[in-house]
Amino acid sequence: MSGYGVPVAGADPYKLVYEWSAGTAPTAANADAVSHLLQARCEAAGVTGAKITTEMILRRFVVDIPDASEIADIDAFAQMLGKTGRLTFQDESGNILLDGSDIADAYKTVTNRNGINCIEIALIFTADGAVKFGQITQDLIGEQLAIYLDDELLVAPTVNAPIYDGNAVITGNFTDEQATNLVALMKAGALPFALTPVSCEPYSSS
């Protein structure tokens, strides 16, 4: 079981491999930043002890997960780790008004709506982000403010009133796993370049 030393009884170790495209030429500093972001995404998703290895010659990152038994969907988790993960707030014309750098924190929450427990994602803006968000919501009353993660539309609510307190909530039909992965992306930040997952396999017990 390479990379783990003595196997832990009952553990479910996995090896995830990601490549960057031939047209991407990351510097050592960029590769180091990606390694730290992958580590942060694992930790934000509740996955501890992950080991990130950069293999510059092979143009890839290897993520060793010592125990994936608590990950509900390892394939969805692997896809999440490799996403660029850029969060943007856009107006109806597609103009980007805010992005993930304006977010100080994100966390999963549960709200009871009409007797149904709904999983939501709460956002806390930075001081500068809160000021910008307040002005944006003031200017867009009666219009939609779309929130995207990369090219995926998460939600596009109509702004009913300005929000000045630096807090926002993303609502949707999120599963617990989806919300956990989205929070991990938002908390860790965007990757400087895209990664392609090429394998997601358990380690042999031999």
Q: Which amino acid is at 4?
A: Y
Are 42 and 99 in a shared domain?
no
Pair of tokens at residue 12: 């479910």
Q: Tell whether 196 is covered by a domain.
A: yes
Are 77 and 91 in a shared domain?
no
For the chain, give the longest Cα–Cα distance: 62
Domain interval for residue 61: 14-84+191-202
Are 109 and 166 in a shared domain?
yes
Are 70 and 121 in a shared domain?
no
H or E segment to which residue 155 belongs: strand 152-155
Please give the Cα distance from 123 to 144 (Å, whole number).
18
Q: Tell whether 4 is covered by a domain.
A: no
Residue 4 is predicted with a pLDDT of: 36
Pair of tokens at residue 96: 């980007």
Residue 204 is predicted with a pLDDT of: 65
Residue 2 is predicted with a pLDDT of: 35
Q: What is the CATH number of the domain that holds 99?
A: 3.30.1360.200
Please give the Cα distance from 41 to 189 (Å, whole number).
8
Length of the chain counted residue by residue:
206
Are 80 and 107 in a shared domain?
no
Mean pLDDT by 10 residues, the chain (206 residues): 40 90 82 93 92 92 92 92 93 96 94 89 96 97 94 92 94 88 90 91 70
Whether the Cβ atoms of residue 60 and residue 77 lie closer than 8 Å to each other: no
Torsion, CA 165, CA 167, CA 173, CA 177, rounded to 10: -160
Q: Tell whether 1 is covered by a domain.
A: no
Q: Tell whether 64 is covered by a domain.
A: yes
Q: Tell whether 37 is covered by a domain.
A: yes
Pair of tokens at residue 190: 């965007």
pTM, to two decimals: 0.77
Are 91 and 104 in a shared domain?
yes
